[in-house]
Amino acid sequence: MVDYKNILTGVAERLSDLREERPSAGTRYRLMGVVADIMEVAETLQKEVLERVRQEAVLDADVDADFDVMAEEVLSWELTIKTDALQEPTQQVNDALGGLSDVLTQIGSQLSRRHKDEE
């Protein structure tokens, strides 16, 4: 499986840096980069983890990982930047976080479902 814990930690660190940063001319572009990164993580998790757990009973899934808790944690990373010029890219970051959280929730529900004997 994908090393999703390190990937999510990297996203959280980038968002933390943005929270602490004083808005500047380059902030808009850093926000756009974070949106792209979050979308890439969500797509990777969807393709490499979610599709796998939908199609088969995964016995080697990380038992200490609670995807529902991770989904809630991702939502807690939402940004609030009060600069008017940055409202749109900030909303895009928050929307991307919502998408990532949704993928994590779907993974959690797929891992907890009852499996058929064929799986």
- Which tens digit of pLDDT belongs to each residue from 70-88? 999 999 999 998 888 999 9
The 3-class secondary structure across 63-113, one letter per residue, is CCCCHHHHHHHHHCCCCCCCCHHHHHHHHHHHHHHHHHHHHHHHHHHHHHC
Residue ranges of domains in the chain: 4-112
Quick one: tokens of 61?
Answer: 């899934």
Question: What's the Cα-to-Cα distance from 63 to each of 11, 35, 60, 112, rounded to whole Å?
Answer: 22, 29, 8, 11
Handedness of CA 23, 29, 30, 35 (dihedral sign): positive
Q: What is the pLDDT, as a whole number, of residue 64?
A: 57
Residues of the chain with pLDDT > 70, as a percent, come to 86
pTM: 0.84
Residue (of 6, 18, 26) closest to 79 by Cα position: 18
Average pLDDT of every residue of the chain = 85
More confident site: 56 or 9: 9
